[in-house]
Structure 1
């Protein structure tokens, strides 16, 4: 999960530095393009029309979790389709088909924040509307934890499918400003919609500057719930 400063300089998250490109990535495409680097050493490459996430064992990120969730999501919500998965003693990798659209914090959308914010809200509405009757049970996620130091969790009045990492870059937007899909589903689970709304609204400050949160809640179709916002932001910070 990202820190508040993560998106201040997007270029540094597309810098290969001195790290070698993993061999498995070269097997997929002779000229892979690095599109994201997380703080734990995980790398995401564009390889032709597909993307490959590569995560070292030391990162503590289980790409198998995301693979399982994406397989379940197929046909239920616009999300990357799993093309391949692999692992060895050093790393895991997940290959997915590309989706149309650009992530919501690209240069285009920083200049058109209202459209981006509306698209982010519409994407979360769509996720939260996915029926969960046949969802796999036992999926772990930060949003389901109840650390005693945070006190009593606010009651979940209407459980929904929760993205689990609803930061702005995980929404994809078409050239005309419409929401077209979402990415990064490793923490997908059934829970409180406010686990998404609290983090999505917070990430707007990081990506577009302060002053957009009420616009986001209006686009989603809800007023603020400060109790749940405080709880889920505190849980996010504790688990990140």
Structure 2
């Protein structure tokens, strides 16, 4: 995700929601991630070495739909390695999703921050695995440009879009962002996209091979460049410049400047 307020490992002082404490029972609870909307992820480990993950988001956070993520995980799990859903529910304070652990470390683990080229290659290979494995024709989920444009226009109307100054820094050649997102490039190839292909959501085995994806709450059918543009862009946020082309090469595709620019702008606007 693009960091606006905070996205990363939370401080040790984070408050563990009561429902997460109840789910954990006697398990050790470790905060492992906080997104920019305040959603929290906790690792739950018991004495037998069994690990689960609990995601929690406060009520009234419509941008994060854990019930929708549970549906997508259950569907995608038929073809690719993703966490298994153990429990999903909600109460007046928030909603939560409990999943099994899957092998591997996040591409932003310190192990891979120290070896960004290997991590970037795994991001590219992982997206290729996902795009080739998930069946477009039977996918019930949509992440199309049309749907995302609707959200972008809602944000513009509500005054929630990124400020002109921020957009100018991230998209220096854009003069009229609303007009430019209204003219998407032709579809290259429809695939089932991850929907949040940023580096933290790719897991690697210790030998550097791609392992699995996590955080599939926006998974749906779209042009593959909607994932590729963001997956490669996120290497700049997490590792610094110079690794975007590693993602494209590992995926097996040449960079497409027009589609990359468009889907990065749409990402920020929607």
TM-score of the two chains, using structure 1 as the length reference = 0.90
| Deviation sequence 1:182-203 (CA, Å, 0-9, x none) | 0010110111000011101111
Partner of 1:190: 221
User: Mapping of 1:154-169 within 5 angstroms?
Assistant: 154-169=185-200
- The offset of 1:125, in angstroms, is 0.2
Question: What's the offset of the Cα at 1:221?
Answer: 1.0
Q: Are positions 1:23 and 2:8 aligned together? A: no
- Distance, in Å, in 2 between the alignment partners of 1:228 and 1:6 is 28
Q: 1:34 aligns with which of 6, 31, 34?
A: 31
Q: Is the counterpart of residue 53 in structure 1 residue 59 in structure 2?
A: no
**Secondary structure class of the residue paired with 1:36:** strand
Alignment of 1:28-107 (within 5 A): 28-29=23-24, 30=26, 31-48=28-45, 49-60=51-62, 61-107=64-110
- For the pair shown, which has the larger CA radius of gyration, 1 or 2? 2
1:230 paired residue among 242, 261, 267: 261
Report runs of 4+ in structure 1 exceeding 3 Å deviation: 4-7, 139-144
The CA deviation at 1:141 is 6.6
Gaps of 5+ in 1: none
Q: Deviations over 1:64-101 (max 9, x none)?
A: 11011011112211101100111012211000000110
CA deviation digits over 1:154-198, x for unaligned, max 9? Answer: 111321010010001100001111111000101101110000111
Q: Distance in 2 between matches of 1:4 and 1:236?
A: 13
1:134 counterpart = 2:138: yes
Counterpart CA distance in 2 for 1:142 and 1:192 is: 8
Structure 2, unaligned runs of 5 or more: 46-50, 154-177
Does 1:207 pair with 2:238? yes
Q: CA contact under 8 A between 1:143 and 1:191: conserved in structure 2?
A: no
TM-score (norm 2): 0.81
Corresponding residue of 1:14: 10
> Is 1:119 aligned to residue 125 of structure 2?
no
The verdict on how the C-alpha distance between 1:87 and 1:4 changes in structure 2, with shifts beyond 3 A counting, is closer
Distance across 1 between alignment mates of 2:18 and 2:144: 30
Secondary structure of 2:96's match?
A: strand
Distance 2:228 2:20 in 1: 35
- Judge conservation of contact 2:188–2:224 (CA < 8 Å) in 1: no
**Residue 78 of structure 1 aligns to a residue in which SS?**
coil
Contact 1:69 1:186 in 2 (8 A): yes
Distance 1:142 1:160 in 2: 13
Hey, what's the Cα distance between the residues in 2 that align with 1:140 and 1:222? 22
1:145 counterpart = 2:140: no
SS at match of 2:60: helix
